Amino acid sequence: MGQPGGSIHSAACRRARPQAETGEIGAVRKAMLNKYARAFFTRVLTPFAAFLIRLGVSPDAVTLIGTAGSVAGALVFFPRGEFFWGTITITLFIFSDLVDGNMARQLGRTSKWGAFLDSTLDRVADAAIFGGLAMWYAGLGDNNLLCAVAIFCLASGLVVSYTKARAESQGLPCDVSGLVERAERLVISLVAAGVAGLHTFGVPYVEWLLPFALWVVAAGSLVTVFQRMLTVRREAFEADRVAAGSQGGV
């Protein structure tokens, strides 16, 4: 039955630029939060990572299993409106993103291939999460508008990642975090989905949280895309100016 409201460079071209004080404070707080959260999970997951190493499991295998579990959790549970169990499943497998990195460090095997595989499969898992939500709203959730919003969240999340990767492939820095990055998209979406899933256990009114979260993620992702585009545009113009100046001086 549909639920109401529905029926997660170059160094020569760079120069120091002052940041707004509020943005600086926000960046510092985010960095501190990431630092302490990662340190906590490193302590918790290191023994488990060591156990997997002793079993002969490779970091790449953990990455693949984690992605497969996240995709299965999103595409099996979300389209049926089972948001609570879907979120629990996805969250358990998302921790593989920390485990594989921990294993690689313990083995001394950090590699460009591992980083590439991890980043690529992260995009696959993200697409499955928002794709599963879109399938719910296109089907039993019976809300075409929210289906479109979920699809927009999926697409804009990929574009946020692409802008940075494309800029760096051209030698242009994209040193801007943006309003909503992957971690924020996942936390907002999965927390909202998990809490909204409590509606099936008789908790009233929580089902409205997921549509609200999707709108927040969509708006935040759009702002982040523009933030990164403007940053790269500024860097590109500066690089062109420096190159023109160098040619003129020859």
Residue 149 neighbours by CB distance under 10 Å: 21
Q: Indicate if 122 belongs to the active site.
A: yes
Start-to-end Cα distance in the chain: 72
The angle at the Cα of 63, spanning 53 to 105, to the nearest 5 degrees, equals 50
Contact 223, 159 (CB under 8 A): no
The angle at the Cα of 98, spanning 121 to 215, to the nearest 5 degrees, equals 60
Whose CA is closest to 193, among 208, 173, 183, 175?
A: 208
Contact 151, 133 (CB under 8 A): no
Alpha helices in the chain (DSSP H): 21-54, 59-77, 83-94, 96-107, 112-138, 144-169, 182-196, 209-248
10-19 long-range contacts, CB within 8 A, separation 24+: 10/171, 10/172, 10/173, 10/239, 12/242, 13/172, 13/173, 13/235, 13/238, 13/239, 13/242, 14/173, 14/235, 14/238, 15/238
Query: Of 60, 100, 122, 126, which is the active-site residue?
Result: 122
Contact 111, 55 (CB under 8 A): no
Tell me which residues are annotated as active site. 122
